[in-house]
Amino acid sequence: MQLSIIVLNYNVRYFLELCLQSVEQAIKGLSAEIIVVDNNSPDTSCSMVKQQFPSVKLIENKENIGFAKANNQAVAVAKGEYVCILNPDTVVTENTFISVLEKATQLPNLGLLGVRLIDGKGLFLPESKRNLPTPKVSFLKIMGARFSHLAPYYVNTILPNGEGEIAILVGAFMVCKKEVYQKVGGFDEDYFMYGEDIDLSYKIEKAGFKNYYLGKESVVHFKGESTLKDKVYRKRFFGAMKLFYKKHFKSSGIVNLFIYTGIKFSALLQTAKKQPETIDFKTHILLSKNELLLKQIGKTLKEIVGVHHSEVLQEYAVKNEFTCCMLDMNYISYEKAIQLLEKYKDTSLYFRFIPKNKQFATGSDTSTGRGQVLKWE
């Protein structure tokens, strides 16, 4: 077994189904397994996995034991030489794991390997490549853009589509050898949620391995679906970063006071941001040749236009009117779908994914707001 893909789920059933469909397509021809750990989701995630993905190994926890402990639980039973930690609100391409494994075998002394993450609109997520958040880096980031260039939080020496060594990767998608993961003790279970990826990246780097960013591969991370900025987020984020600094940086009381105050202020700013409202689309498009599907969706969305060629989308993009394009994943590849997101990221064209042979569509219009699920009969 070459690769074990570990997906930790909590209450994002429809996004999980889309994710698993894309993963199954991506591991065709590979020696790989999929492990889903469910942290006591109140929805129908577990029954869906059992019915729709019988080859997936499902671990059903009776309580939400947190991100770190659940992933460690899965790695312990993983059979792969490499493990991939993957969020349930992601979409990979048919070539993602082939390309990542090829690069992993070429890199000497590899620690973690990450890819270019984009949100549901196709916009690049800068947390895909980060510098170590030392007290100085974090403080200047909190102070704003006028000062952050003095010690950048995000890596700006590597382009989004470039590649190279970086310090910190994001837990939405990270690949490493199982033996490396276990050598450093995996995720620190003192973290419940947030901060674990920073901690693991730093531990692996301190152990003498090198973390690497591969920008030629794009993976969608809807993000807003699994990271809602509320008071619970604020409490967990503050606690996680406080733990990270206490664990890795021995500073004076004055410095610690500045850092902890800054972390709390940053978390408050995050939650104070007004969550974006749902977009009122003027037009809906279905990219498909399935006329029955068009009729079915038309009962829910009274005005929807069917198109057979992606080139037609350019006509809607230049109109500068909010348009939702629904992608039939029976009709186009995941690679093509992600290419469309990135091509039209700066336009008024937004996207939804329709998983193969399903009666729903999922997507997210921002990296901060809730994801969208549209169902029909």
Mean pLDDT confidence for 143-150: 52
Mean pLDDT confidence for 211-219: 98
Q: Is the pLDDT of residue 149 over 60?
A: no
Give phi and psi for 5, each to the nearest 5. -100, 120
Dig out the tokens for 115 from the structure: 């890819």
Mean pLDDT confidence for 360-377: 89
Q: Give residues with Cβ within 8 angstroms of 376, minimum separation 6.
A: 296, 297, 299, 300, 359, 360
Q: Is the pLDDT of residue 252 over 60?
A: no
- Round the average pLDDT of the chain to a whole number and report it: 87
Q: Is the pLDDT of residue 50 over 70?
A: yes
CA 102, 106, 111, 116 torsion-angle sign: negative
- State the Cα–Cα distance between residues 57 and 158, nearest whole angstrom: 37
Helices (H) and strands (E) in the chain, counts: 13, 15
Question: What letter does residue 184 receive in the DSSP assignment?
Answer: T
Dig out the tokens for 98 from the structure: 């082939």
**What is the pLDDT, as a whole number, of residue 234?**
57
- CA-to-CA dists, residue 135 to 45, 101, 122, 197, 298, angstroms: 40, 34, 31, 17, 54
For the chain, give the longest Cα–Cα distance. Answer: 67
Closest CA to 134 of 213, 242, 245: 245
Mean pLDDT confidence for 180-194: 86
**Helix, strand, or coil (residue 299):** coil
- State the Cα–Cα distance between residues 309 and 21, nearest whole angstrom: 23
**325 against 245, higher pLDDT:** 325
% pLDDT > 90, the chain: 71
Q: Is the pLDDT of residue 362 over 60?
A: yes
**328 against 250, higher pLDDT:** 328
Q: Is the pLDDT of residue 150 over 50?
A: no
Give phi and psi for 237, each to the nearest 5. -65, -45
Mean pLDDT confidence for 73-82: 98
